[in-house]
């Protein structure tokens, strides 16, 4: 876009995480004031909701925010396009951890597909009073296997209880 382009009347649609929308709406207002481009915003609850909408052809989105775990799927399905660095001069300010050569979501070390906007972490937590094993879990897999075991046990108990009481809908 050159400085002389009149883009008033142009509209772009952005969808992002609901908890991020107040900040995004403020940036959209600033962007609109600076460029004349109207930005409509809409919240969503998770990446897969937006990607499913785009895959189904209901994609009227020009921009959308997603977590980095969804980038490979979106890229492989052609839902996102490579970033043209010449259009984003401040890419040089991105921490080296999030550059394509170091980012696990980028298969080509010379090509930007997505830029991390923030960093968060997931915590591994469990109730030590209910954990039935001597060793503490060290991964999500440990917890997942335990949850699957408990689901199987509860399903088995439900079948047993229903055998003895045909009118019982649930163990609880």
pLDDT digits over 57-89, tens only? Answer: 876 778 878 888 888 888 888 888 888 989 888
**Band of residue 9 on the pLDDT scale cut at 50, 70, 90:** confident
Query: Which ranges constitute the DSSP H helices of 5-139?
Result: 21-35, 47-55, 71-76
| Whole-number pLDDT of residue 138 | 83
Most confident of the ranges 8-17, 26-35, 160-169 = 26-35
CATH assignment of 11-80? 3.40.190.10
Q: How confident is the model at residue 168 (pLDDT cuts 50, 70, 90)?
A: very low
pLDDT in tens, 113-155: 888 766 666 677 777 887 777 888 888 777 777 766 666 666 6
Which tokens go with 71? Answer: 């980038």
Per-residue confidence (pLDDT) for residue 164, from 0 to 100: 57
* Mean pLDDT, all residues of the chain: 78
Domain boundaries, the chain: 11-80, 123-166
Find where tokens 């460029």 sit: 35
Mean pLDDT of 29-45: 88
Q: Is residue 33 classed exposed, middle or buried when 0-12, 13-18 and 19+ CB atoms within 10 A define those classes?
A: exposed
HSE of 167, CA atoms in CB hemisphere, 13 A? 0
Give the C-alpha separation, 158 to 67, whole Å.
38
Q: Report whether pLDDT(163) > 80.
A: no
């Amino acid at each position: 876009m050159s400085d002389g382009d009149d883009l008033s009347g142009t509209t772009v649609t952005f969808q992002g995480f609901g908890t991020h929308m107040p900040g995004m709406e403020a940036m959209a207002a600033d962007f609109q004031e600076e460029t004349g481009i109207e930005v409509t915003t809409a919240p969503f609850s998770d990446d897969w909701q937006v990607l499913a909408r785009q895959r189904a052809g209901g994609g009227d989105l020009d921009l959308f925010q997603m977590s980095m775990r969804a980038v490979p799927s979106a890229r492989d399905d052609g839902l996102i396009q490579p970033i043209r660095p010449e259009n984003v001069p401040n890419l040089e300010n991105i921490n080296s951890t999030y550059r394509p050569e170091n980012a696990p979501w980028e298969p080509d070390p010379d090509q930007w597909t997505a830029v991390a906007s923030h960093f968060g972490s997931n915590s591994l937590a469990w109730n030590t009073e209910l954990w039935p094993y001597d060793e503490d879990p060290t991964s999500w897999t440990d917890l997942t296997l335990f949850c699957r075991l408990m689901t199987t046990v509860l399903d088995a108990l439900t079948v047993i209880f229903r055998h003895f009481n045909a009118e019982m809908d649930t163990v609880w």
